[in-house]
Amino acid sequence: MLAYNVYLIGFMGTGKSTVASYFGKKHVVDVIEMDEAIAKREKKSITDIFAENGERYFRDLETSFLKELDAKKNLIVSCGGGVILREENVQLMKKNGKIVLLTASPEVICERVKNDNGRPLLKGRKNPEAIKMLMDERQKKYEEAADITISTDGKSADEICEEIMNEIKRAKERE
Ligand code: S3P
């Protein structure tokens, strides 16, 4: 049982959902998939929300969702890749949790997302160069938000979860 939440952030395709699901089973922590929860509530896919309501509307939904988690603990939350775009979101996550940044190379990300059409911001950008450009634009925000950073390239979900737990313990000891 964790007395706080673990928020997984990182670019699309860095493995946040896979890691969250594995972590939830391994450490008996409740798993929240933000995109999935938002899509379910809105009764439409993320692609349709972007197309019909616009990105700003989607970003507002992300912020409202994080506000609802305010009083909760023992959650691992797989956040949408753009959650760090708003400083308010970062502060909400920091209030009751640790923020873990997952990273992967543009090449690995490209491989993972190439057959997926559910990410509107990657439309027409499914090549390592375009992915790297968008990643670079966001890099500073990811780094500033992260309490812990873990590279996922070549690692299993089990290894990543082990690293997350060890790093969180270390970070807690430093507090
Ligand atoms: C986005 C990432 C997506 C989803 C939306 C926008 C982004 O989530 O929230 O398409 O801005 O990086 P994943 O990172 O889970 O793919």
Of all residues in the chain, the percent with pLDDT exceeding 70 is: 100
Which of 57, 119, 138 is the best mutation target for the ligand 1 pocket, counting ligand atoms within 8 Å of the beta carbon and taking the most?
Answer: 119
Q: How far is CA 57 from CA 27, 62, 71, 92, 135, in A?
A: 34, 9, 24, 18, 22
Asked whether 82 lines ligand 1 (CB < 6 A), one says yes
Q: What is the percent of the chain where pLDDT is above 90?
A: 91
Q: How far is the CA of 13 from the centre of ligand 1 (A)?
A: 9
| pTM of the complete model | 0.97
Alpha helices in 124-156 (DSSP H): 128-145
Rounded distance from Cα 21 to ligand 1 centre (Å) = 17
- CA-nearest residue for atom 3, ligand 1, is 80
Nearest to residue 142, comparing CAs of 96, 103, 108?
103
Backbone φ and ψ for 4, nearest 5 degrees, come out as: -155, -175
pLDDT for 103 equals 98
What number is the average pLDDT over the span 33-52? 97
Decide if pLDDT at 36 tops 90: yes
What is the average per-residue pLDDT within 128-147? 97
Closest-CA residue to 92 (of 74, 65, 124, 57): 65
Separation of CA 80 and ligand 1 centre (Å) = 4
96-110 pLDDT per residue, tens: 999 999 999 999 999
pLDDT digits (tens, 9 = 90+) for 76-126: 999 999 999 999 999 999 999 999 999 999 999 999 999 999 999 999 999
Rounded Cα–Cα distance for residues 80 and 49 (Å): 14
State how far the Cα of 65 lies from the Cα of 38, in Å rounded to an integer: 8
- 5 pLDDT higher than 90: yes
- The reported pLDDT for the residue numbered 112 is 94
The Cα 1–Cα 120 span in angstroms is 36
pLDDT class of 175 with cuts at 50, 70, 90: confident
Whether residue 31 has pLDDT greater than 90: yes
pLDDT at 173 over 90: no
